[in-house]
Amino acid sequence: APRITIEDLSLAFRTGTGPFVALDRVSFDIAPGSFVSVVGPSGCGKSTLLKLLSGVYSPTSGRILFDGKPVEKERLQGQVGYVFQRALLLPWRTALQNVMLTMEVARRSMTRAQREAEALKWLEIAGLKGFEHRFPHELSGGMQQRVSICRALAFRPQILLMDEPFGALDEITRETLQNELLQLWQQTETTVVFITHSIPEAVILSEQIVVMSARPGRVVERINVPFPRPRV
């Protein structure tokens, strides 16, 4: 994964009452393969930052660099996987077919059988063996969220962006998925940028915590978590 440099990034939304500064000159670095959490009060610009990192939004000013070079939207979109607070699965596709979706789009040189084999592998790692052919409405919320994480990973993104992926889950499911995510992360070279409202969750998961404040959205602190977690 590339080293990500966020340089003086600002975004002002146009609103009915004039421009609204959601992000104000945010700068920080994300080391390749690291796990970074972004915490802060509601409205401080966490989601906005993730949408800039994924190329959904363009900044008003400032830049995002990969290995020191400016990146275009298109390149961001090609390298980034996204997991939302609520699993956005296609209801008419099974768990397996949902996971295969990103491979159909991004990894076209694979045969159908190869895609299927890899999707099955991800689902097994995520503890969903036996549920591959269920439709989303036949799965619990936690299972659906696992499927959406598998779908993002199957795309083999260099950067995985997660916007409060476990926020809507019960505590037990959340703990299980936190552990699974850490295991998956340790097995890949993926850089993870993880939004959460929960400081304990940020401490458990990440190597670095970026603390933001609201009005305007700014980075106020960066905390390195001492983390002797082995990488496989």
| Residue ranges that bind ligand ADP, judged by CB under 6 A | 13, 15, 20, 22, 40, 42-48, 85, 163-164, 167-168, 217
41: phi then psi, degrees, rounded to nearest 5: -65, 160
Task: Rank residues 58 and 183 by Cβ distance to ligand ADP and give the closer one.
Answer: 58
Least Å distance between CB 228 and ligand ADP?
A: 30
Task: Rank residues 61 and 183 by Cβ distance to ligand ADP and give the closer one.
Answer: 61
Task: Rank residues 118 and 164 by Cβ distance to ligand ADP and give the closer one.
Answer: 164
Least Å distance between CB 181 and ligand ADP?
A: 17
Least Å distance between CB 161 and ligand ADP?
A: 12
Task: Rank residues 85 and 188 by Cβ distance to ligand ADP and give the closer one.
Answer: 85
Say how far apart CA 145 and CA 168 lie, in whole Å: 10
Least Å distance between CB 78 and ligand ADP?
A: 23
Amino acid identity for residue 168 in this structure: A
Q: Which run of H or of E encompasses 148?
A: helix 141-154
Task: Rank residues 46 and 115 by Cβ distance to ligand ADP and give the closer one.
Answer: 46
Least Å distance between CB 88 and ligand ADP?
A: 13
At 175, list the tokens: 């703990």
Say how far apart CA 115 and CA 130 lie, in whole Å: 18
Q: What is the DSSP string of 48-92?
A: HHHHHHTTSS--SEEEEEETTEE--HHHHHHHEEEE-SS----TT
